[in-house]
Amino acid sequence: MLLKSFISAGVPLALGSDGGPKEQNPFLNLLLATLHQGEPTEALSREAALIAYAAGGAYAEGQDQRKGRIAPGLAADLAVLSQDVLTIPMSQLPATASLLTLVDGEVIFEDVVLTSSK
């Protein structure tokens, strides 16, 4: 798959999974997009892969004017992660977990780690 070439050509790229919440691991997909063993020159930076997940996913849904980025007036969809996916060693990406997830500003998931410290 020509991930970097799509972006370079101006083609919006959306990464995601059709799996359910128990089956999917977006951080494994992030790892695969940033390694791209089949064609290493097509590997994305971690930042580009995150943009493809967030902004690219919103674009694919036709919702890019409503969500996909953190900006005034857009939906407050965000996650607080267990580790910094931009700086940790690549091999640790799949172990990342969401500690807090907001959709439209509403908490839809809060890890017991956060709730037990209250």
- State yes or no: pLDDT of 18 exceeds 90: no
pLDDT at 21: 64
Q: The whole model's pTM is what?
A: 0.86
Q: Which residues contact 20 (CB under 8 A, 6 or more apart)?
A: none
Percent of the chain with pLDDT over 90: 72
- State yes or no: pLDDT of 45 exceeds 70: yes
Edge-to-edge strands of the sheet including 98-103? 78-81, 98-103, 106-110
pLDDT at 20: 67
pLDDT digits (tens, 9 = 90+) for 60-115: 999 999 999 999 999 989 999 999 999 999 999 999 999 999 999 999 999 987 77
Q: Which residues contact 38 (CB under 8 A, 6 or more apart)?
A: 1
